[in-house]
Every structure is written in structure tokens, then in C-alpha cells.
Amino acid sequence: MNKTTSADGTEIAYDTYGDGPPVIIISGAFSSREHQVVSTFAELLSPSLKVIAYDRRGRGDSGDTAPYAVQREVEDLAAVVEAVGGSASVYGLASGATLAFEAAAAGVSITTLVLQEPPYVAGDDEPKVPADFADELAAAVADDRRGDAIALFMTKQLGIPAEAIADMKHSATWETLDALAHTLAYDAAITGDGSVPADRAAAVRAETTVIAGTNSPEWMQTGARAIADVIPGAKYRPLEGMDHYSMDPTVVAPVLLEIFTAK
């Protein structure tokens, strides 16, 4: 494990795998650098790339200096980029993709950008989350209702049915979800109400590809196409047969290798 220091003094922990052009993985909600999906991607990509998996603030071995602000997470990524050479490609998953977008739009030195199913809501019939959703999640955690925060995020942000969440509460993974419940407000703050940030898209200079599974919820695919449409020169690439909730890194990794090693 390595550590770097963000602009506000927060220590950010990261691991490196392999050697080659640097690629930073940004995990989504309910995950850290040690999440199985993240570590599997790192192992699959490391024969050709130097892969960096880091703990976003409030997760794993990273610090969590208050008060939270989206800009602090952008600065965290910038610190990791600087620590691994001053520029890097970035692969963001779900809410990690919205963070990757915000960093690219803010001028962080990102060379190639892959956004996988950022949770933007573009369809006219798709409801957006409330403007105070991040505050609602933070209040639930502050009141020691971490389980309520998890359920709120899953229903309002991800569209998971309540009965499915009830079953999760009896699974072995619930404890892991509970440990990260306080960071859900951070994910919600980055995503906002889910509107496609077209006003900031023109500032993205990285070569960008947006990917989404053809079996993922339709609103995720629509949102992915919408952000690809507004980022200059961005490409949209569907992943045939893939589903957001049962993603197979062995299928996605070859696509990432193709993108990140293209000359």
C-alpha cells in the first residue's frame, strides 16, 4: 500500500499493479480498492498497464477530512495522478465515472477516459433524485440509521426494488455495505439530481469512451449515451450481454485494454 496527500491534507491510500502506462481505477458506491471487481480488473490489466486502485476518501485506508465537498474528491484524484507520474488514464465505474468526469472537466491531467455507466438520467420519463438527497443520506447516517441510508440509496439512486433490499439485509455482504454507508452521501453529492452535465462537458479534453451493458437498466444506457453525446469527440460503446448488476471483468477488461493501449 502507498499513500499520497490531497490538497486539504487528507491521506489517500492506493495500490499499484504491473508496469506500463498508468491507469487509475475509480470505484463506485459500496466499494473500495480491495473490492473484488476492482482488484480483478487490476489483475487483468496489469500485464500491459500500470494499474492504480485507490480508496476514495472515507473508504478503506484513506482519511476523511470534514467537511465533505466534491472538489475535495477531485483534488484526491489529482493527488493520485501526480503521485504516479503527473498524468494518467482513468477508468471510472458508476458514481466513480461521474467523479472521473468532474475531474476531467476541472482540468486534472487525464489522457484517456473511460466512463462505465455513470448514473446520469436523460430519459424524459425517468425520475431524478431529490435535490437534497445527499443531505437526506447524511442525516440518516448521523442518526445511526445506516441501514436506512443504504436502502434509500439503492431505491432512489439505483432503482433496486424494496423486496430485493430486504433479502440483502440477511446476506453476508450487508456488513460490507454498512461499513461504507457514510460515503453514500458523497456519491450522491457528485451525481446531484442525475442531470447530464452538458454545461461542463466542453471542458473535457481527454479522449473519452463511454461504455454500458446492453442488459443494464435502460436508464443507465440512455444516460451513458447522453453524456457521450455532449463530450467533444467521445465515443459510445455498448457491451453486448453485460448487466450492471452482474458485471464480468473478464469480458470488460479486453475492451479496456484495447482503449488504453491504442496508439
Instruction: Please provide the size of the chain in residues.
Output: 263
Question: pLDDT of 104-135, one tens digit each?
Answer: 999 999 999 999 999 999 977 777 888 899 99
Please, what are the domains in the chain? 2-124+195-260 (3.40.50.1820), 133-188 (no CATH)
Give 84's contacts (C-beta < 8 A, 6+ positions apart): 16, 22, 24, 50, 52
**pLDDT score recorded for residue 263:** 63
Condensed to tens digits (0 to 9), the pLDDT of residues 50-93 reads 999 999 999 999 999 999 999 999 999 999 999 999 999 999 99
What does the pLDDT read at residue 110? 98
Please enumerate in sequence order all residues whose Cβ is within 8 A of that of 103, keeping only pairs 6 or more positions apart, or say none.
Answer: 74, 77, 78, 90, 110
Is the pLDDT assigned to residue 13 strictly greater than 80?
A: yes
- In DSSP terms, which residues pair with 4 in a beta bridge? 12
- HEC letters along the chain: CEEEECCCCCEEEEEEECCCCEEEEECCCCCCCCCHHHHHHHHHHCCCCEEEEECCCCCCCCCCCCCCCHHHHHHHHHHHHHHCCCCEEEEEECHHHHHHHHHHHCCCCEEEEEEECCCCCCCCCCCCCCCCHHHHHHHHHHCCCHHHHHHHHHHHHCCCCHHHHHHHCCCCCHHHHHHCHHHHHHHHHHHCCCCCCHHHHCCCCCEEEEEEECCCCHHHHHHHHHHHHHCCCCEEEEECCCCHHHCCHHHHHHHHHHHHCCC
Whole-model pTM? 0.95
What whole-number percentage of the chain has pLDDT above 70? 100
Report the sign of the C-alpha dihedral through residues 86, 87, 92, 95, in that order: positive
Whether 7 contacts 77, CB under 8 Å: no
Cα–Cα dist 40/45, whole Å? 9
* Number of neighbouring beta carbons within 10 Å of residue 261: 15
* Per-residue pLDDT reduced to its tens digit, 151-188: 999 988 888 888 888 888 888 888 889 999 999 999 99
The residue type of 238 is P
Pairing of the two strands 2-5 and 110-116: unpaired
